[in-house]
Structure 1
Amino acid sequence: MNVRNINPVMRLLVLASVVTLAAACAKKEESTTAPSDSSATSSAMSSDQGSGSTQSDDSTGSTTSPSSFDVQGGSGHFVKVAASAATMNTDQMAKAKSLAEAKGCFACHQVEAKVVGPAFAWVAYKYKGNPKAVDTLSHAIEHGVSGVWGGMPMPAQSVTPAQAKELAAWVLAQKPIAPPKSA
């Protein structure tokens, strides 16, 4: 895969995750925890680091990934996070787009152009770098929201919480484009 073909935002997210994980590992090595904790942490991190994969917890639908390491705690445990744009592969993107089509999202939104609501790429731009973006957007999808993009409210959608998170992650995975000044 040619590195130049990777979305610059995704490259930045991966780089930030690697730097964060390295800092957390260095902090862990400096701490005075028991050796048994250290070996468990090393094996947990090495199993995730090499593949770059995420693991799903069936009971909550959340994932664990190297980018969700608890840096502040420095404990070496992975924190549960919702599926994010950074973890969506091509198949997941296609599945989420099909869900967006089935749920009628394209009646009011397009990927790069305003219809009734903002373009998905504009939403991705607005929330890029926001760690709570998936939760914020999934709540807006599931329960509705007004006042974020002008006077037109977005009504609550008939989706499950898992579908709302999937759609939110898909929206955030779009190539971010700044909205025009008039939007």
Structure 2
Amino acid sequence: MKKSIWMPVSISVVMLMAACGGGEEKKAEEKASTAETTAPAADNSMVADVTGKGKELMAAQDCATCHKETEKVIGPSFKEIAAKYPSNPENIATLADKIISGGSGNWGEIPMAPHAGISKSDAEEMVKYILTVK
């Protein structure tokens, strides 16, 4: 009686293993193929990572109330900011501080509200994204 129960189970397990066999090799080939076709160029790989993170951080804030990527709203567009400030460590630090502390005068009389709850590193990621908008 016990043999009759285990035989169908054993056959099912063997068939399942056979049906799934070779899957690891296929998955590895698919991953390699995908990596080759979707990997950014070596000089843009860092920008792509920063762009995604900075853009995500900004989406969680109120930035879109006053700024758009290519058109002026209340504050300058990201494109205007990127044209005025070259992407270098000094500008990234300065603009990150401006996001955190707020201010006015660089783009007109309307002040930018401070965002004291944003960490320096997150503000820098946001600035890195802004400076990629062309």
Instruction: Name the TM-score, length of structure 2 as normaliser.
Output: 0.62
Runs of at least 5 residues in structure 1 that lack an aligned partner in the other structure: 1-5, 7-50, 53-85, 176-183
State the match for 1:92 in structure 2.
Answer: 50
Residue 126 of structure 2 aligns with an amino acid whose one-letter code is L
Larger RCO, structure (CA 8 Å, separation 6 or more): 2
State the match for 1:171 in structure 2.
Answer: 130
Q: What are the equivalent positions in structure 2 for 1:76-87 lying under 5 Å apart?
A: none
Equivalent residues of 1:88, 1:173 under 8 A apart: no
Count the aligned residue pairs: 93
Q: What are the equivalent positions in structure 2 for 1:1-183 lying under 5 Å apart?
A: 88-128=46-86, 132-157=90-115, 158-175=117-134
Equivalent residues of 1:141, 1:156 under 8 A apart: yes
Alpha-carbon RMSD: 2.3
Runs of at least 5 residues in structure 2 that lack an aligned partner in the other structure: 1-40
The Cα of 1:87 is off from its aligned counterpart by 7.4
SS of aligned partner of 2:112: coil
State the Cα deviation string for residues 42-75 of structure 1 (Å, max 9, x = none). Answer: xxxxxxxxx87xxxxxxxxxxxxxxxxxxxxxxx
Residue 121 of structure 2 aligns with an amino acid whose one-letter code is A
Residue 125 of structure 2 aligns with an amino acid whose one-letter code is E
Larger radius of gyration: 2
Structure (1 or 2) with the greater helix fraction: 2
The Cα of 1:128 is off from its aligned counterpart by 2.0
Compared CA separation, residues 136 and 87, structure 1 to 2 (3 A): farther
SS of aligned partner of 1:132: helix
Equivalent residues of 2:47, 2:132 under 8 A apart: no
Equivalent residues of 2:87, 2:128 under 8 A apart: no
For residues 115 and 88 of structure 1, what CA distance do their matches in structure 2 show? 29
Instruction: Name the TM-score, length of structure 1 as normaliser.
Output: 0.46
For residues 160 and 131 of structure 1, what CA distance do their matches in structure 2 show? 17
For residues 144 and 87 of structure 1, what CA distance do their matches in structure 2 show? 31
SS of aligned partner of 1:150: coil
